[in-house]
């Protein structure tokens, strides 16, 4: 029984219900803006909601969506993003992204930036994003 419980615990540890993968940011200078991209993989049979992202590397961090009206592209803040059960939601150029406004330091290629993603069910997920061009 103890062994079984241990195995179950290990399995659970190795397959978290919600994962954030491939996090990266665009390079930019101190005082400028950058954008953070990643994939959220939801392996559970329940939706989860991303409602906040924080980072010590920028004055302001916002979840943004890209939209198109009358052929013009724009972006705006969204209060939350729902990740459906058994699905992957990709934050990518031209879509959802996390805006880093007024960087507190230079984001140089190959640098790493810490951020925390807050979810309603799975609480917070800490990530280290890689700075790269694309």
Q: Where does the chain show beta strands of DSSP type E?
A: 18-25, 34-42, 48-54, 58-69, 72-77, 81-83, 87-91, 97-103, 112-119, 123-131
> Which tokens in the block code for residue 85?
């059960």
Closest to Cu ion by CB, 75 or 116: 75
The least CB distance from residue 44 to Cu ion, in Å, is: 28
Per the listing, tokens 């699905």 go with 87
When asked if residue 99 is in the footprint of Cu ion (CB under 5 A), the reply is yes
Only one of the segments 11-19, 53-61, 70-78, 114-122 lies at the binding site for Cu ion (rule: CB under 5 A); that segment is: 70-78
Closest to Cu ion by CB, 32 or 99: 99
When asked if residue 28 is in the footprint of Cu ion (CB under 5 A), the reply is no
Answer yes or no: are the C-beta atoms of 107 and 91 closer than 8 Å: no
The least CB distance from residue 133 to Cu ion, in Å, is: 18
The least CB distance from residue 95 to Cu ion, in Å, is: 10
Residues 36-65 interacting with Cu ion (rule: CB under 5 A): 64
Closest to Cu ion by CB, 26 or 40: 26
Note the helical H segments in the chain: 2-14
When asked if residue 32 is in the footprint of Cu ion (CB under 5 A), the reply is no
Closest to Cu ion by CB, 86 or 102: 102
Per the listing, tokens 């290990």 go with 10
Answer yes or no: are the C-beta atoms of 84 and 41 closer than 8 Å: no
Residue showing the smallest CB distance to Cu ion in the complex: 64
């Amino acid at each position: 029984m103890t062994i079984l419980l241990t195995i179950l615990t290990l399995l659970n540890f190795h397959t978290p219900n919600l994962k954030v993968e491939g996090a990266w940011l665009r390079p930019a200078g101190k005082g400028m803006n950058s954008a953070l991209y990643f994939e959220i993989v939801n392996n559970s049979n329940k939706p989860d909601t991303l409602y906040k992202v924080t980072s010590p590397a920028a004055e302001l961090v916002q979840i943004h969506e890209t939209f198109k009206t009358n052929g013009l592209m724009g972006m705006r803040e969204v209060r939350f993003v729902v990740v459906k059960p058994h699905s992957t939601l990709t934050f990518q150029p031209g879509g959802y992204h996390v805006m880093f406004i007024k960087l507190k330091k230079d984001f140089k290629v190959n640098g790493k930036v810490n951020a925390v993603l807050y979810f309603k069910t799975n609480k917070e997920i800490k990530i280290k994003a890689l700075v790269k061009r694309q």
